[in-house]
Every structure is written in C-alpha cells, then in structure tokens.
Structure 1
C-alpha cells in the first residue's frame, strides 16, 4: 500500500507517553502535531469535540485501541500517529455513549483523502486483532522496529 510511506513516520511513534487523562492525551498530542506542522491550530478543539460526539474506542483483543480523528480541514499533512501511553487511557466505545474502553494504543488518524480511509481502516483493524503483531508492538521501544511491524501488517 503506497499510502503507508505517506502516512507513517517514526517521528509520530510515541512510546510510554505519560498522560493523566484523555484530555491530557489530546493536549499533548495536539501540541506535538502542531509543532511538527501536521495540523492546524483548530485541531485540538476539533478532535476533542469529535471524540465527544463520535467516540472511537475499540474493544479489540489482545489490547483495546482508540482511533481518534477529525475532519480533513484540520490537517496540513496527512499522518497516522501511533501512541502507546505508559498506562491505559479511558475512551468511550465506538457506537455507544457511555461504555468505557481502556485503550492500550491510540492511533491518531490525520487523513484528508476519504477514498483511502476504508481500506486503510480495514488493515488497521486486522492488525489490532492480530495478537502476534500487537504483542510485538506493546513490547517494542525502538521506533524503527515498530515501523517495520506496522509496514508488515498495514502496507
């Protein structure tokens, strides 16, 4: 998938990020993405609002995941940010209003081409349910090795 090299970047793989809450997570990630030039100033507000209206927690095994995202107008450069916080962060399960999901991984999607989203999301969800791949990512701290795992499973 040619789109892989356009979206994944080892600078956007954060392992052991300390966040006290989902809100703290959005603050830190939004500031980081803004500093790197990936998102607009409105991104932080927009991603929080979208998450409130349309929760993105996924109850997948072996680890729960969240895939927060916002509208394309808040994205300068398309990306997928991979975050493994130092502790699980509570999101609300997709399709519900109040079912908590303790996410071990958060994949922040910064996409601006809707036609590429469906096949990409399918590949990501397949990887989320691949115990071998997810166990390798949860135990790996080298961004280059995480990129290799992602490339094998998503590209």
Structure 2
C-alpha cells in the first residue's frame, strides 16, 4: 500500500493578501516555521532559490507557483497551499524572462531530496485537473483545501 501524503490545515491559507511574490514567500515560510515544519533558514533559502530557479507555471485556470528549497532547511515534510486574494508575479519555470500571474502557491518543504521529483510529478498531474483548480480557487476554507488535496499525493 502506498503512503499518502498528509496535509496540515494549519499551514494552508485562503485569499492571502500580499503585494508581491517575496512577501507571499515570507508569509508562507513563517507559517511553516511557526508549526515546526521548517528551520529558521528556510525563508531566506526559498527566496534565494526562487530568484535563481523560478517556479511559476501557467495553467488554464490560473498561474501556480511551486517554490521549494534544499532539504537541509526542513524539519518535517509538508506542503503549504495558499490561494491569493489578488495574483502576484512569479517568473516562469521554463523561461525566466516570462512573468506568470500566480493565484495559487504550493510551497514544498521536503525532507528527502529523492522524493522531490515524484512529488513535483504528482503535483503537475493534479494541477492539470481543471475541476480541482476551480474548486481550489473557489473555496473559502483552509479545511476544504486540505480535503480537496487529501489522498492526491503519495510521496
């Protein structure tokens, strides 16, 4: 039987208000830190990595960002899911010169680097599900976002 990733409602945010991508990364990192999922070095590391290796992805329903950083900054694996009240600009993962208007952030805190490729693959498959994306955008509850994603990640 495959292990199914567990999400924590406490680190999911709905309609977060931020001015830019750095502010979004700081706020979500801070939340992961406050619940013990990441180390105090995580926030700076994720912002630095995003500048070098952008994670914005344009999808049919909306832009998504998948920020992540080295496992050495993580205490326990978790994915914080955050919808934004208004989109912010991230750079495109495939072409850093192209901006992506991001409305949903999946911030990855992975403890084992060998799981990262499988996790990204599973997330990409889910992000192509237009009904799921629509539901994530429409929800007003962190608990509902957690329920929508439950059982979808098997890392």
- Please give the TM-score of this superposition, normalised by the length of structure 2: 0.91
* Greater per-residue helix proportion: 1
Q: CA deviation at 1:144?
A: 2.6
Q: How many residues align?
A: 153
2:116 pairs with 1:117: yes
Consecutive unaligned residues in structure 2, runs of 5 or more: none
Contact residue 38 and residue 76 of structure 2 kept, 8 A: yes
Contact residue 133 and residue 153 of structure 1 kept, 8 A: no
User: 2:126 aligns to what?
Assistant: 127
Consecutive unaligned residues in structure 1, runs of 5 or more: none
- CA deviations on 1:56-106 (whole Å, 9 max, x unpaired) are 001122221000011001111111000001111100000322210011100
User: 2:3 aligns to what?
Assistant: 2
Moved more, 35-44 or 141-150: 141-150
C-alpha distance in 2 between matches for 1:17 and 1:83: 7
Contact residue 63 and residue 128 of structure 1 kept, 8 A: no
Taking only aligned residues, the RMSD between alpha carbons, in angstroms, comes to 1.5
C-alpha distance in 1 between matches for 2:109 and 2:120: 12
- Please give the TM-score of this superposition, normalised by the length of structure 1: 0.91
